[in-house]
Structure 1
Amino acid sequence: MTWVILTGRQNDIDQVATPHKIITSRDYLAHPGLFRGQRPKVINLSNRYDYQSRGYYASLLASSRGHKVIPTVETMIDLSERKLYEHALPELELALNKCRKDLGGAFPAKMHVFFGIGPSKAWDRFAKLLFDWFRAPALEVAITDGGEWASIRKIGFYPLARMTEDEEKRFLECLDVYTGREWRDTKARTPARYTFATLVDPHEQLPPSAISSLRYWAKTAEKMGVEVEPITKKDLARVANYDALFIRETTSISNHTYRFARRAQQEGMPVIDDPLSMIRCTNKVYLNELMAFNDVPVPLTVMIAGSSDLEVAADTLGFPLVLKIPDSAFSRGVKKCKDFGELKKLATEWLEDSDLLVAQKFIPTDYDWRIGVLGGEPLFAVQYLMAKQHWQIVNHDRAGKPDEGGFKTFTLKDAPAHAVQTAVKAARCIGDGLYGVDLKETKDGVFVIEVNDNPNLDHGCEDTGEKDEVWVRLTQWFLDRLERNGK
């Protein structure tokens, strides 16, 4: 990724203070051919952003040239008058007042936030939210502290020309943090046209992709003119700096992964997983109804809304049967009940937290098919084997680390055609993104168990059958949508 810093004067920032290209806003405006064929990220540090100023035009023309820029002209207009940003103040003031305890006293009359980073860790909550609302390099917040409640009097830009020597030093440190990245290849073979963000949690126990696999993808994507960079849940405010987003944390409607998906969608970015797919796939009640409506074969199922439904489930499904919490992942919240006593005990416990449960006929197999589907077409085929002496592919009941079964990989050509076709039909009911369809293969046919919006994709496992074509097609999925949108 190429970072370009625009300044009002040539000497506003020492060239040796940052590795990034520094030019004046005057030069940027006068030379529209600069960075032709590239997609730089522009940080506009002009001393004035008012309407039709040089700083305003620099951001306006950056947008027309296909360059990502902060601040945008929308942010400049939003901060030009209090009445244009007062809708943000209730949320910001709530976050501000939550900082009081960590600050250990009264608020200062003014505080400065650089790239979403405050003067100390105590300001983290407020600084990140402020940058989330107004993505600008440097902001000044005027505060009125009433003792029990502090209010925001004004939010405005804070130009380099007004910074003290210590503030400028902190600003440059924050700039370095903001533009820093982990997977940089200093010997890039192809100038990057695009930069994709990949949301990861380095500490997740069972991530959908290992960090090593994402590095492998980055090498493939690089050959296609794409840089892949990791971001974490702390980087929501930076999502708009990228061209696309690939979420590689276990998704949930109730955590930050959904907020990242929504933010990317609001910015017009291609995203896997998209919010609608997350909503559809994370709920097993919805999935079962959707599959049945579209004539996709699923196991015999009974919905349980209360104790009166337990006997219906027992009579319809027999024992053992499988009981599921609607919103669960990686075999969690899925239990086998061997008799009515186990069913009643578990259902009673789970119904305290969920209004509905899913009971399904138990279909014993030695493996589950996982067919990957991308953009409505099959991507990979894998058999996930059951964990040792267990009926699921992951045994969470074992003490310590979850126990996973092995796997067998197949080319799509060698996988059973009826399994692949059924998986594609199921995935197309959800959307156009990346899905992992789990199926049971029996003498009576195949049955869709789940459609996962956040499927595993690891080098040496899911890509073994189709090789690098998996990663090429993944990259191309994003590129097609960027080019379709004229990005």
Structure 2
Amino acid sequence: MPAYYVVVDDLNDWAPYFPSKDVISFDQYLALPTETSDNKVRVINCCRNSHALGRGYYASLLAEARGHHIIPSITVFNDVRRKALTSLQLEGLEQSIDKLARQLDDSGTELVFRLFFGRTPISALASLGKQLFERFAAPILEVRLRKQTSWTVDRIRVLALGDLKTEQDQTDFADAVDQYSNLLWRKPRTRKRYRFDLAMLVNPDEAMPPSDRNAIARFVRAGKRLGINVSLIGKKDYMRLPEYDGLFIRETTNIDHHTYRFAKKAEAEGLVVMDDPTSILRCTNKVYLADLLKTHRIGTPATRIISQQSEAVLQDLEQSLGFPMVLKTPDGAFSRGVIKVSDRKELETGLKQLRQKSALVLAQEYMFTDYDWRIGVLNNKPLFACRYFMVKDHWQIYQHHTGSVDSGGFETMPTYDVPRDVLDIALRATRLIGDGLYGVDIKQSGSRVVVIEVNDNPSIDSEVEDLSLGAALYHEIMAEFLRRMEDRHRG
């Protein structure tokens, strides 16, 4: 488990707040042993004098030299001191500021407000505050907006704890630091009990999440048995990632989505990550995956990648794939973005519909089977096996209606009962992606076995994928996290 410190100029600066042994002075931090300990160290730097050669600057500089995870970083100090660097970081915020124009127009030509870990009591500025914190991660920021022809961010300053003179500012800071890092104050016993911290990214409001609540709870229990403290986090916890040793994404992933940004940041911070960003990139785009499998001669349904809807293209599809055929958008999931077409008219309509969403569309031969195989693979070894049956009187395992989704039955079995050629093609496909956790969808028709897709974030629901292994399924996944975190720790 990591050690936590809040570094202040003087311990008296912390007088308005609840006492904590984790709050130390700059001099105490300076006197800490420089040797890397067995635990990661997280530091919140609340010192004054953030200019070059000041205490705040040196606290962050020394933390980075010692391999500690520090907020704010030296980069933030440098960015806020130089207007050119500040402007560079502010690119892309114009739209967010424009949305505030109606509220800000009544504020004259200048508005100054403070952010505490990206939080502000001004509700109209909440979204802007979060985005500023992502770019300038600091405990306390003072932001000045000015209006000339339009509202812009005119200045950003990193403040110290000693700059908070009013009771309201002190209360807002206390609430924000409690929300930002509740492990710091609320779980001293946990720090002694567990060896590693694992963040699990979930979305309680997701209609079809990769794991249901019971499965999530089983992951948490399995982690505890192995000495891993599993904490559930959400989209708003992006800047807290450095507090953890690993990230387990249990939310449907996509490239243009916060799940990919979480994976990228976690990887950059040195965390063990599943799904890692490379796997997300390779799996979530069916165009890439189809080309990858074809290049390595792994069996797939006959596939064409469509970029235009000309007469020649339509004729080629009819002759090469025949009817019915299946059209797919590159980023569809859970049977969404997939259309079966039975004649030329449906083909033209389907392509037109999908090409409004994507420049490229996949067309594949239709292979009728009563079920699809799903082979779960972890670190290039088979983990679980299911057969997902088609919805009654439907050609997919999911059928989407307005406000509801039907699914077919399933059969879970030990991997040793799966035909050898099904297991082999699943492992061949996942080796092209990486060594993470995958779910390979496979169709088997007679002696023909083909890969439909590889999922980087496979469904693991209670009483479905875990029916064969039970608690051992969750143990195996958590044990793999433990092995990788131990390797990373030793390295």
Q: TM-score, normalised by structure 2?
A: 0.88
Structure 2 counterpart of 1:373, from 371, 374, 377: 377
Q: Which amino acid aligns with 2:456?
A: D
Partners of 1:185 and 1:130 lie apart in 2 by 29
Distance 1:11 1:93, change over 3 A: farther
Identity over aligned residues, as a percent?
40
Partners of 1:379 and 1:18 lie apart in 2 by 48
Alpha-carbon distance, 1:483 to partner: 4.6
Describe how 1:295-374 pairs up with structure 2 within 5 A: 295-304=297-306, 305-308=308-311, 309-374=313-378
Alpha-carbon distance, 1:141 to partner: 2.1
Partners of 2:305 and 2:154 lie apart in 1 by 54
- Which residue number in structure 1 is paired with residue 436 of structure 2? 433
Deviations 1:358-390 (CA, angstroms, capped at 9, x unpaired): 222222222111111222222221111222332
Distance 1:213 1:17, change over 3 A: same
- Which residue number in structure 2 is paired with residue 393 of structure 1? 397
Aligned-partner SS, 1:383:
strand
- Which residue number in structure 1 is paired with residue 76 of structure 2? 75
Partners of 2:153 and 2:353 lie apart in 1 by 46
Aligned-partner SS, 1:79:
helix
1:424 matched to 2:423: no
Contact persistence 1:298–1:447 (CA under 8 A): yes
Distance 1:33 1:227, change over 3 A: farther
Alpha-carbon distance, 1:332 to partner: 0.8
Q: Which runs of 5+ in 2 are unaligned?
A: none
Distance 1:79 1:275, change over 3 A: same
Q: Which amino acid aligns with 1:271?
A: V
- Which residue number in structure 1 is paired with residue 129 of structure 2? 127
Aligned-partner SS, 2:129:
helix
Contact persistence 2:181–2:240 (CA under 8 A): no
Distance 1:449 1:92, change over 3 A: closer
Q: Which amino acid aligns with 1:306?
A: Q
Alpha-carbon distance, 1:232 to partner: 2.0
Distance 1:63 1:460, change over 3 A: farther
Contact persistence 1:70–1:136 (CA under 8 A): yes
Structure 2 counterpart of 1:236, from 220, 238, 245: 238
Deviations 1:299-341 (CA, angstroms, capped at 9, x unpaired): 1223443243233323333333222222211001212223333
- Which residue number in structure 2 is paired with residue 158 of structure 1? 159
Q: Which amino acid aligns with 2:169?
A: E
Distance 1:238 1:410, change over 3 A: same
Partners of 1:37 and 1:365 lie apart in 2 by 53
- How many pairs were matched up? 483
Contact persistence 1:39–1:193 (CA under 8 A): no
Aligned-partner SS, 2:346:
helix
- Which residue number in structure 2 is paired with residue 247 of structure 1? 249
Contact persistence 2:279–2:433 (CA under 8 A): yes
Partners of 1:212 and 1:394 lie apart in 2 by 21
Cα RMSD, aligned residues only: 3.0
Distance 1:171 1:328, change over 3 A: same
- Which residue number in structure 1 is paired with residue 8 of structure 2? 7
Partners of 2:94 and 2:287 lie apart in 1 by 39
Q: Which amino acid aligns with 1:197?
A: A
Partners of 2:96 and 2:423 lie apart in 1 by 49
Aligned-partner SS, 2:359:
coil
Alpha-carbon distance, 1:216 to partner: 1.8
- Which residue number in structure 2 is paired with residue 25 of structure 1? 26
Q: Which runs of 5+ in 1 are unaligned?
A: none
Q: Which amino acid aligns with 2:217?
A: R
Partners of 2:467 and 2:191 lie apart in 1 by 26
1:403 matched to 2:399: no
- Which residue number in structure 1 is paired with residue 461 of structure 2? 458
Q: Which amino acid aligns with 2:14?
A: I
Contact persistence 2:226–2:482 (CA under 8 A): no
Partners of 1:251 and 1:290 lie apart in 2 by 20
Partners of 2:192 and 2:343 lie apart in 1 by 61
1:444 matched to 2:447: yes
Alpha-carbon distance, 1:114 to partner: 0.6
Contact persistence 2:326–2:339 (CA under 8 A): yes
Aligned-partner SS, 1:464:
coil
- Which residue number in structure 1 is paired with residue 273 of structure 2? 271
Alpha-carbon distance, 1:36 to partner: 5.6
Contact persistence 1:140–1:157 (CA under 8 A): yes
Alpha-carbon distance, 1:413 to partner: 2.0
Distance 1:102 1:243, change over 3 A: farther
- Which residue number in structure 2 is paired with residue 172 of structure 1? 174
Distance 1:271 1:195, change over 3 A: same
Moved more, 249-258 or 30-39: 30-39
Contact persistence 1:190–1:222 (CA under 8 A): no
Describe how 1:205-224 pairs up with structure 2 within 5 A: 205-224=207-226
Partners of 1:384 and 1:209 lie apart in 2 by 16
Distance 1:438 1:169, change over 3 A: same
Moved more, 7-16 or 168-177: 7-16
Moved more, 351-360 or 17-26: 17-26
Partners of 2:278 and 2:289 lie apart in 1 by 13
Aligned-partner SS, 1:448:
strand
Deviations 1:16-45 (CA, angstroms, capped at 9, x unpaired): 637783333333333439996444533222
